[in-house]
Structure 1
Amino acid sequence: MEVAMQKFPKGLPTLEELKKWNTSDVPPETAWIWGKGDEIGRINLLTPERILAARNSELNDGDTVSLNWPMTLPTKPAFGRTPCKHRMANHPDGPMVFDDWLDMNIQSGSQWDGFRHYGHQTQGRFYNDLTPEEVLSGTRCGIQAVSNHGIVGRGVLLDYYSWSLETGKTYDPFTSHAIQLEYLLTVAKAQNVRFEVGDILLIRSGYTAAYYEYEKSDPKKLDEAGSLKPNLAGVAQTEEMKAWLHDSYFAAVAGDSPSWECWPPKGWALHEFLLGSWGMLIGEMFDLEALAKQCKEKKRWSFFFMSTPLNVPGGIASFANALAIH
Structure 2
Amino acid sequence: MSVEEFAALHEELAGRTAWAAGPRGALAALTPDKVVAAAREVRLGRGVSLAAPVEFTVAPDDPEPARHTMLGPDIEDTPAVLDSAEGLHFVTDRLAMNVHGDANSHLDALTHIIWNGTLHGGVRASTVTSEAATALSVEIVRDGITGRGVLLDIPRLRGVPWIEPGDHVTGDELRAAEESQQVRVTEGDLLFVRVGHRRRRAELGAWDTARSHAGLHPTALEFLAERRVALLGCDSNSDTAPSLAEGVGWPVHVLAIHAMGLHLLDYLQFEDLVPLCEEQRRWSFLCVVAPLRLPGGTGSPVNPVAVL
Bin of the TM-score, shorter chain as denominator length:
0.7 to 0.9
1:69 matched residue in structure 2 = 52
2:19 matched residue in structure 1 = 33
1:132 matched residue in structure 2 = 125
In the TM superposition, what is the alpha-carbon distance from 1:195 to its structure 2 partner?
1.7
Question: Structure 2 counterpart of 1:33, which letter?
Answer: W
Q: Which segments of 5 or more consecutive residues in structure 2 lack a partner in the other structure?
A: 1-7, 75-85
SS in 2 for 1:315: coil
Alpha-carbon contact 2:111-2:133 (below 8 Å) kept: no
Alpha-carbon contact 1:54-1:153 (below 8 Å) kept: yes
2:4 matched residue in structure 1 = none
In the TM superposition, what is the alpha-carbon distance from 1:44 to its structure 2 partner?
1.6
Quote the Cα distance in structure 2 between the aligned partners of 1:303 and 1:70: 22
Q: From the superposition, tell whether residues 174 and 147 of structure 1 become closer, same or farther in structure 2 (CA, over 3 Å).
A: farther
Quote the Cα distance in structure 2 between the aligned partners of 1:106 and 1:189: 35
In the TM superposition, what is the alpha-carbon distance from 1:203 to its structure 2 partner?
0.7
Matches within 5 A, 1:15-34: 27=11, 29-30=13-14, 31-34=17-20
Matches within 5 A, 1:98-113: 98-108=91-101, 109-113=104-108
In the TM superposition, what is the alpha-carbon distance from 1:264 to its structure 2 partner?
2.2
Picking from 63, 82, 89, the partner of 2:71 is 89
Q: From the superposition, tell whether residues 289 and 102 of structure 1 become closer, same or farther in structure 2 (CA, over 3 Å).
A: same
Alpha-carbon contact 2:188-2:229 (below 8 Å) kept: yes
Question: Structure 2 counterpart of 1:262, which letter?
Answer: T
- Tell me how many residue pairs correspond in the alignment: 279
Note the aligned Cα RMSD (angstroms).
2.4
Alpha-carbon contact 1:113-1:281 (below 8 Å) kept: yes
Q: Which segments of 5 or more consecutive residues in structure 1 lack a partner in the other structure?
A: 1-18, 20-25, 216-221
Alpha-carbon contact 1:113-1:318 (below 8 Å) kept: yes
2:158 matched residue in structure 1 = 164
**1:282 maps onto 2:264 in alignment:** yes
Scaled by the length of structure 1, the TM-score of the pair is: 0.79
In the TM superposition, what is the alpha-carbon distance from 1:197 to its structure 2 partner?
0.4
SS in 1 for 2:179: helix
Alpha-carbon contact 1:91-1:99 (below 8 Å) kept: no
Quote the Cα distance in structure 1 between the aligned partners of 2:170 and 2:161: 13
Picking from 150, 153, 156, the partner of 2:147 is 153
Q: Structure 1 runs of 4+ off > 6 angstroms?
A: 91-95
Question: Structure 2 counterpart of 1:192, which letter?
Answer: Q
Question: Structure 1 counterpart of 2:299, which letter?
Answer: A
Residues 21-52 of structure 1 deviation map (CA, whole Å, 9 limit, x = unaligned): xxxxx9554245356xx321111222111101
Picking from 234, 238, 254, the partner of 1:255 is 234
In the TM superposition, what is the alpha-carbon distance from 1:101 to its structure 2 partner?
0.8
Q: From the superposition, tell whether residues 60 and 112 of structure 1 become closer, same or farther in structure 2 (CA, over 3 Å).
A: same
**1:319 maps onto 2:297 in alignment:** no
Quote the Cα distance in structure 1 between the aligned partners of 2:162 and 2:281: 26
Picking from 206, 222, 234, the partner of 1:243 is 222
SS in 1 for 2:26: helix
In the TM superposition, what is the alpha-carbon distance from 1:161 to its structure 2 partner?
1.7
Question: Structure 1 counterpart of 2:59, which letter?
Answer: K
1:142 matched residue in structure 2 = 137
Question: Structure 2 counterpart of 1:307, which letter?
Answer: V
1:10 matched residue in structure 2 = none
Picking from 253, 259, 273, the partner of 2:255 is 273
Scaled by the length of structure 2, the TM-score of the pair is: 0.83
Quote the Cα distance in structure 2 between the aligned partners of 1:74 and 1:294: 30
1:264 matched residue in structure 2 = 242
Picking from 208, 213, 219, the partner of 1:224 is 208
1:115 matched residue in structure 2 = 110
1:205 matched residue in structure 2 = 195
Quote the Cα distance in structure 1 between the aligned partners of 2:93 and 2:73: 9
Question: Structure 2 counterpart of 1:247, which letter?
Answer: E
Residue identity over aligned pairs, in percent, reads 26
Question: Structure 2 counterpart of 1:235, which letter?
Answer: L
1:9 matched residue in structure 2 = none
Residues 215-254 of structure 1 deviation map (CA, whole Å, 9 limit, x = unaligned): 3xxxxxx2433xxx4200111123xx23212121100010
SS in 1 for 2:19: coil
Quote the Cα distance in structure 2 between the aligned partners of 1:290 and 1:164: 20
Quote the Cα distance in structure 2 between the aligned partners of 1:81 and 1:74: 8
